[in-house]
Structure 1
Amino acid sequence: MSTGHNRGTTRLKRSRRAGCPMQGYDRLPPPLRGWMATAALPWSARSCLALWQRALKEGASHREALDRLDRAEAALLARDAAL
């Protein structure tokens, strides 16, 4: 099995991870962990948390923050579909 299990044909770049990615995932708020578990792309806990925190800082509810993540993912998928 290859090392890029969930990458498929996307423009995502391979990167080296600092630390244990599961620890970052485990520290996420439960709604965000749930979103990541069903995401179509292999999001990092760090990038999801950044989008989540930005949305909450701007006054979004948890549901609105998750909707923002859905829109970000849809935009990435649409961009990759144009490849």
Structure 2
Amino acid sequence: MNKNLGSTSLRGKKRVVNPVQSYDTLPAPLRVWLSEVVLPWPPKSAKRIWVKTLSKGENAEGALMAL
């Protein structure tokens, strides 16, 4: 399976988290927003902004506007 790596002395990195699982744990409004955006956003970055905005007292709609 590692046919396209070429010859390198660098070690390969293993993923710590499952990207699908991290997407599935996001709140429903945030998942809908991520599915409709033009440019791809990593779930981790979107969740960080979501949590930060909600902690400031904004509602879900305000958090989506911050994104």
TM-score bracket, normalised by the shorter chain, equals: 0.7 to 0.9
- The structure whose Rg is larger is 2
Cα offsets for 1:23-66 (capped at 9, x unmatched): 00000000000000001111011000000000000011100000
Residue in structure 2 matched with residue 31 of structure 1 by the alignment: 29
Higher relative contact order (CA 8 A, sep 6+): 1
Structure 1: give runs of 5+ residues left out of the alignment.
1-15, 70-83
Structure (1/2) with the larger helix percentage: 1
Q: Percent identity?
A: 39
CA RMSD across the alignment: 1.4
Large movers: runs of 4+ above 4 Å: none
TM-score relative to the length of structure 1? 0.61
TM-score relative to the length of structure 2? 0.74
Counterparts of 2:47 and 2:38 in 1: how far apart (Å)?
Answer: 17
Residue in structure 2 matched with residue 57 of structure 1 by the alignment: 55
Structure 2: give runs of 5+ residues left out of the alignment.
1-13
